[in-house]
Amino acid sequence: MATYNITAVYEYAGEIEADSPEEAEAIFLKDLNDYYSSTESLEIEKLGECVVCGEVDSNASEDFTCDVCAMDKSQESYSWSEMAELTHKKQVEIFGWCGCEEKEHFPYDDCPREGE
């Protein structure tokens, strides 16, 4: 789910029977829905959110990586070429685990294989 910032300007107009301008205003504000005539403008802006943890920053209009996630090395985004160059050693260094731990498949050439 994303977070949206919405600013809308509405136009209300109508004739009100009252004994004073103050009373007219009070009735008008109280029954605003009755006097609704149009939406003048409506802006919906998607707030930028951290692509990793989803934290929303109301000052950001584009998705970003927050400071906390940027500091967490395992959450860094790696290019495909970097991913392709990963080895068991690098994978464990960065992510702290490797797919070979299940001992079902060995994603890297240097994964320790039992019985070899």
Contact residues toward Zn ion (CB under 5 A) are: 50, 52-53, 55, 66, 69, 88, 98, 100, 111
Judged by beta carbon, residue 39 or residue 61, the one nearer Zn ion is 61
Within 8 A by CB and 6+ apart from 28, the residues are 12, 14, 16, 35
Distance CA 104, CA 116 (A): 15
Judged by beta carbon, residue 12 or residue 57, the one nearer Zn ion is 57
CB of 61 to Zn ion, least distance (A): 17
CB of 114 to Zn ion, least distance (A): 12
CB of 105 to Zn ion, least distance (A): 9
Judged by beta carbon, residue 24 or residue 75, the one nearer Zn ion is 75
Judged by beta carbon, residue 10 or residue 78, the one nearer Zn ion is 78
Distance CA 20, CA 102 (A): 80
CB of 97 to Zn ion, least distance (A): 9
- Is residue 82 classed exposed, middle or buried when 0-12, 13-18 and 19+ CB atoms within 10 A define those classes? exposed
